[in-house]
Structure 1
Amino acid sequence: MAKTRKPKGRSLWWRVHSWAGFKLSIFMTFVLATGTLAVFAHEIDWLVTPAMRATPHTGPRASWGTLAAAAARAVPEGRLQSLHAPIDPWFTAEAWVDTGAGSPRRVYVDPWSGEVTGTHGWANVHRFLRQIHRHLMLPTQIGIPIVSALALLLLASLVTGIVTYKKWWRGFFKRPRGGDARRLSGDLHRLGGLWSLWFVALISLTGLWYLVETLGGRAPVPELARTEQARAAPTGAALDRLVARARHLRPDLDIREIRFTPRQGVIVLGQGAAWLVRDRANGVALDPADGAVLTQLAGEDLGLHERISEMADPLHFGTFGGLFTKVIWFLFGLILTGMSVTGVIIYAKRLEKAERGARGAVTIARQGMGSWAWVSLTLILLALVLTPFAIGGAV
């Protein structure tokens, strides 16, 4: 009786690599593609929304008070929620105004003239890509764990890919071969994988962090002091005085956002001395009645847990270095999305050759995914169906 041969270690590693990248490849490709597009979601909105466009000038910009007053006049029946600085010089400033109809309305204001260039509902490209990539338009407590669990598959693919690729360090400059789809896709897959090792590790780790947060590991949020009574949102000269006060208290603060809250004051947020943190980590909350300091926030004072939480988004989406890092993240996102596709081709073509053409590659891919393909398609279709209800707001 012949002895059963145990699979070689490398063969076992390859099987794990193939399963991780193949069974949920449709869903993985969808999440990677939407995440890649989300890097430039604001820029896509800029292209399709003329009101978001501004012409840069050399003169002084309009004050925060002027911008807020213009936004308040544009939607007089609403309450000013927040005011955001232009993302780049060719963007307008953006205000969010609560009209009591559910989602806020966006008001775009020219940062130099202080004139309103247009208004828009809550739904836009950025909101669509952010929510469909982050939680599939599902409730966050359900959708985020589903999406972030893919980080485990990415991490498994990273480790097994290194193990199965013999002497991988020699392949960084290996030119892809032609000849047939299997050989070309395999070479492109390995080349893309090598150059994006750091990117896969980064996306995997930040994705795992999002999973940890949804499972109870969320960092504590700083408590903001409250005023004795509700305050109206100041605009014009009143807001300019508060901004001047905030700049006096925090000369290093590059103001990126102002939030108008009824009971926690006017919160001036932005970037300070701490690197790789969200704007919300640095700021000053002031009482609009007398300018008294209610709360001060500084990214450099955060503990390790809070600092990791604040670093996750800038690292995951590459926003920390402006347009330069966003271009890099977008290009490597394309590579990673392409690897998800070439991985399927490699798997199907390998089996097609082994079976000597008994089944076509497409049939092999479809049958190999089995019920996982239907799970993936169901999640994607459900997200698209839920989109009008999830992002809300009239265009």
Structure 2
Amino acid sequence: MAKARNKKGRSLWWRVHSWAGLKLAIFMTFVLATGTLAVFAHEIDWLVTPAMRASPQDGPRASWGALAAAATKAEPHGRLQTLYAPIDPWFTVEAWVDMGKGAPRRVYIDPWTGEVTGTHGWANVHRFLRQAHRHLMLPTKIGIPLVSSLALLLLASLVTGIVTYKKWWRGFFRLPRGGDARRLSGDLHRLGGLWSLWFVTLIALTGVWYLVETLGGNAAVPKLAKVETPLPAPTGAALDRLIAAARRVRPGLDIREIRFTEDNGIVLLGQDRAWLVRDRANGLTMDPADGQVLTALDGGDLDVHQRISEMADPLHFGTFGGLATKVIWFLFGTVLTGMSVTGVIIYAKRLERAERHQRTAGRIAWAGMGAWAYVCTALVILALLLTPGAIGGAS
């Protein structure tokens, strides 16, 4: 009797696992695939955009002032908006210039020579992958909750997968068997699931956090003091003097981003003593008129709520450890995406055999998804159709 109840319980868990992995498989696979590729989105842009490439040198780098001056000279009719430090030594500095209408224009500058290597419009691989993965090119109030809700399905799949896999802890080194597609896909699905337990948990929990934020649970953002008199963005020696003053106040601040704002003056953001936070958690805002520090931001002073918020992105995309963690996140993201596909194959092959091949596995999978297949396909197609308008802008 107990044995029958256990079998019935596992059957229920399996049905939940099957539903979570099958019905929204098209949507889930698209979101997982774009998220996996987004880990290396900047690197993909680097490959397809020669102007983003720099040759590392032994000499000193150009000053922030020289870089700002170069960006302003390259686009004299625009307003310098932001400067970004190179992601890696072989990347250029990237400047965003507000052209007054539409999206900013990108200016790439060699970090050693201070020479402009090229300019580019707003649309690129990074923008596509980020916006497709984050909110399907839809308005963020609609798209972010829609995508983030998949985290609940991931958690359901995680729990039900563990429950239905008897003595799962023994399967970490069980090699996939050959023979047929059903057996191979099943073994790969289970093996990938075991080794990526930590990763699925991490992605699901950060996804739930994004959902919480969109539903009103976002952490408080520090308010920045305003300047009395807005001034044009300082460049050259004027900016270098501000940077020198900032370093005297915060010698440990590794400046990764400089924002040139009209309301808050010069905003210097980067990394300091707090670990696993976004660049925006650490920084200084300065009045360009006299170099006075208006606001100081320190990731070490964040409360628990704010710290969770700042940790979410580095953990979700694996950017906190540079290239090494990005490789790990990409590999496990690929495994997770593959599991979404193999789960559908397992379902289809099981029924294909039961039906004695009266229908193909593809038709069985589509039928099994039901109306959700059309809804998910429509969402993916809609995201692609909205792409030109969503990531376009200044050319």
Please give the TM-score of this superposition, normalised by the length of structure 1: 0.98
Partner of 2:214: 214
Give 3-state SS (helix, strand or coil) of 1:259's partner: strand
In the other structure, the counterpart of 1:269 is 269
The residue aligned with 1:189 is 189
Q: Which residue of 1 aligns with 2:127?
A: 127
Pair 1:303 & 2:338 matched: no
Within 5 Å, give how 1:258-297 maps onto structure 2: 258-297=258-297
- 2:320 and 2:88 map into 1 onto residues whose CA distance is 13
Residue 202 of structure 1: aligned partner:
202
Q: Secondary structure at the match of 1:320?
A: coil
In the alignment, the residues of structure 2 paired with residue 228 and residue 287 of structure 1 have an alpha-carbon distance, to the nearest angstrom, of 9
Q: CA deviation at 1:394?
A: 4.7
What code does the residue aligned with 1:304 have? Answer: V
Post-superposition CA distance 1:26-56 (Å, at most 9, x none): 1100000000000000000000000000000
Q: Secondary structure at the match of 2:87?
A: coil
Distance 1:47 1:276 in 2: 28
Are the counterparts in 1 of residues 103 and 394 from structure 2 also a CA contact under 8 Å? no
Query: Aligned residue for 1:161?
Result: 161
The equivalent of 1:55 in structure 2 is: 55
Kept after mapping to 2: 8 A contact 1:109/1:117: yes
Please identify, of 223-232 and 352-361, the stretch whose mean Cα deviation from structure 2 is larger: 352-361
Which residue of the partner structure matches residue 387 of structure 1?
387
Tell me the matched-pair count.
Answer: 392
Give the ranges of 4+ consecutive aligned residues of structure 1 lying more than 4 Å apart after TM superposition: none
Q: Which moved more, 1:7-16 or 1:44-53?
A: 7-16
Distance (Å, rounded) in 2 between the aligned partners of 1:43 and 1:360: 39
Structure 2: 5+ residue stretches without partners? none
Q: Aligned equivalents of 1:186 and 1:288: distance in 2?
A: 62
Note the C-alpha offset of 1:228. 1.0
In the TM superposition, what is the alpha-carbon distance from 1:60 to its structure 2 partner?
Answer: 0.3
Q: In the alignment, is the contact (CA less than 8 A) between 1:158 and 1:197 conserved in 2?
A: yes
* 1:26 counterpart SS class: helix
Matched, 1:86 2:86: yes
CA distance in 2, matches of 1:6, 1:70: 70
Per-residue CA deviation, residues 187-238 of structure 1 (Å, 9 max, x unaligned), is: 0000000000000000000000000000000111100000112121100001
Q: Distance in 2 between matches of 1:185 and 1:7?
A: 23
* CA–CA separation in structure 1 for the residues paired with 2:230 and 2:386: 36
Shift of 1:101: 1.6
Answer yes or no: is 1:173 the counterpart of 2:190. no
Partner SS, residue 234 of structure 2:
coil
Report the RMSD for the aligned CA atoms in angstroms.
Answer: 1.2
Q: 1:112 aligns to what?
A: 112
Secondary structure of 1:8's aligned partner: helix
CA distance in 1, matches of 2:157, 2:288: 53
Aligned-residue offset at 1:351: 1.6
Contact 2:23 2:373 in 1 (8 A): yes
Give CA-to-partner distance per residue, 1:282-331, whole Å, 9 cap, x none. Answer: 00101000000100000000011111110000000000000000000000
Residue 71 (str. 1) matches residue 78 (str. 2): no
Q: 1:246 deviation in Å?
A: 1.1
Q: Which amino acid aligns with 2:276?
A: L
Q: Give the deviation of 1:116 after TM superposition.
A: 0.3
Indicate conservation of the 8 Å contact 1:231/1:263, yes or no. no
Q: Which residue of 2 aligns with 1:317?
A: 317
Cα distance per residue 1:267-294 (max 9 Å; x no partner): 1110011111000000010100000010
- One-letter amino acid of the counterpart of residue 157, structure 1: S
- Deviation digits for residues 243-283 of structure 1 (CA, Å, limit 9, x no counterpart): 11111111111110000001201011100111110000000
- Is 1:17 matched with 2:43? no
